[in-house]
A = this chain, B = another copy of it.
Amino acid sequence: MNFHQYHYNGSFQLENGQSLESLTIAYHTAGTINKNKDNIIWVCHALTANSDVFEWWAGLFGENDLFNPNDHFIICANVLGSNYGTTNPLSTNPGTNSPYYRDFPIITIKDMANAHQLLAEHLNIDTIKLLIGGSLGGQQALEFTLLNKVKIDNLVLLATNAVHSPWGIAFNESQRLAIEADATFNDKIEEAGKNGLIAARTIAMLSYRTYSIYEQKQKDDYSVFNDFKASSYQKYQGQKLADRFNAHSYWTLSKAMDSQNIARTKESLEKSLAQISSNTLVIGISSDILFPPSEQKFIAKHIPNAKYVEIESLFGHDGFLIELDELNKILKPFA
C-alpha cells in the first residue's frame, strides 16, 4: 500500500470542547478509484494497528486477496491519537513547541470519525462501497456512518459495540493504572511508561483471547513450578507491543475506546441505529469476552434489515483478525 499524509491547517474541534490547532492524518491506499467511484473500500483499524491493512489483515486484504487493488480502491486512515503518522501525544504541541505527552487532549471515537470525514472531503470521496472495521475500528465505522455525510453503501461491523461496556472500560482502566504505576510515564520522553505499557498489553491479551486458547497453546509439563509458558507468553506479547508503540498513544486510544456511545448526544442507542440505511452485516465471535456477541446482536437488531453472523472460534476477540477462512466466505458478497 502507499503511505500518504494529509496536513489540515484549520482548527479541529474535539468533542470535549478543546481543539487541535492543526491536524495531520496519515493513511494508506492501494488501487485506484474507478470511473463510477463505486469501488472504494474504507477500512477502520483497531487499537494498536496502523493504516497498512495489507500488513495486519493479510489474507483478506492484499494484492491477491478478496479485497485487492485490481478490483478496489482500498483506504485506511491511522486514527487520531495513534503514533503511525496521525497527530498524537508525541506530536508537537503548537502552543509549547514541544510534544504533548500527557497534555494531549481526551479524544473520542466521534473525534476519530470527524477526522475520517475531513480526509474523505479532501479526497472527494462521497460514496463508499464498503466501510468495514472490527473492535475500535467497528466503533469508528459506526460513528463515521452516523455523521451521515458520506454515503455508505455497505457496512460491515466486526466484534464491536454501539456503547462501550463498563466491563470493557474496567479492562482499559486496569491497563491505564498499570501504565501510571510506571512513574516514568510522567517523563517527557518517547519511552515514558514502557514497563507499564508492557504490563498493559498483557492485560489486553487476556481480554483478546480465551481460557481455551491459553490451555491449548501455553500448557507446561507437570514437573514445572516456576517460569511457566503462560508467563513467558505474556512477557513476550507485552515486549513486542512496547517495541512498536508508546504508552501515551496507548493511554489516549484506550480512553477513546471507553468513550464509545453513539447515543451520547442523541435520544437512544436504538433510535441512532435505526437511522442507518446502509446494507449492514454485523459479525460476532462466539468466544469474545471483551465485545461479547450480545453487543453485535444488539446492533444488528436495531439497524434496519441488518444481518448478524457469528463465527464459532476459540480465539475470542482476536478471532476477527484470525478466522480468515470464515471471513473470506462471509465477506465474498461485499467484494
CB neighbors of B among A12-33 (8 A)? 15-16
Known A171-B206, A173-B235: A259·B226 in contact at CB below 8 Å? yes
| A219 closest partner in B (C-beta) | B166
How many residues of chain A are within 8 Å of chain B by beta carbon?
Answer: 57
A106 within 8 A of partner (CB): yes
Residues of B near A165 (CB, < 8 A) are 211, 214-215
In the complex, what's the smallest C-beta–C-beta distance from A95 to chain B, in angstroms? 21
Contact B195 A234 (CB under 8 A): no
CA distance A289 to B209 in the complex (A): 12
In the complex, what's the smallest C-beta–C-beta distance from A138 to chain B, in angstroms? 18
Known A16-B225, A177-B235, A199-B174: A167·B292 in contact at CB below 8 Å? no
Contact A108 B181 (CB under 8 A): no
A202 touches which of B170, B222, B231, B261 (Cβ 8 Å): B170
State the oligomeric state as a number of copies.
Answer: 2
Contact A218 B181 (CB under 8 A): no
CB neighbors of B among A214-257 (8 A)? 214-215, 217-220, 222-223, 225-226, 228-231, 233-235, 238, 255
Known A181-B182, A182-B181, A238-B177: A169·B231 in contact at CB below 8 Å? yes
In the complex, what's the smallest C-beta–C-beta distance from A159 to chain B, in angstroms? 14
Contact A181 B167 (CB under 8 A): no
A205 within 8 A of partner (CB): yes
Contact B178 A263 (CB under 8 A): no
Contact B15 A225 (CB under 8 A): yes
A258 within 8 A of partner (CB): yes
Contact B170 A234 (CB under 8 A): yes
In the complex, what's the smallest C-beta–C-beta distance from A216 to chain B, in angstroms? 9
A198 within 8 A of partner (CB): yes
In the complex, what's the smallest C-beta–C-beta distance from A18 to chain B, in angstroms? 12
Residues of B near A196 (CB, < 8 A) are 178, 181
| A232 closest partner in B (C-beta) | B173
A264 within 8 A of partner (CB): yes
| Chain A 88-107 interface mask (CB, 8 Å, partner B; 1/0) | 00000000000000000010
Q: List 22 A-B contacts (CB under 8 A).
A: A166-B220, A166-B228, A167-B210, A167-B211, A167-B214, A169-B218, A173-B235, A174-B178, A174-B202, A177-B195, A177-B235, A177-B238, A178-B199, A181-B198, A183-B183, A211-B289, A222-B263, A222-B264, A223-B264, A225-B261, A226-B258, A231-B258
Known contacts A169-B230, A170-B214, A179-B181, then 8 further A-B pairs from the complex at CB < 8 Å, ordered by chain A residue: A106-B226, A170-B231, A170-B234, A174-B206, A178-B181, A181-B198, A183-B183, A225-B264
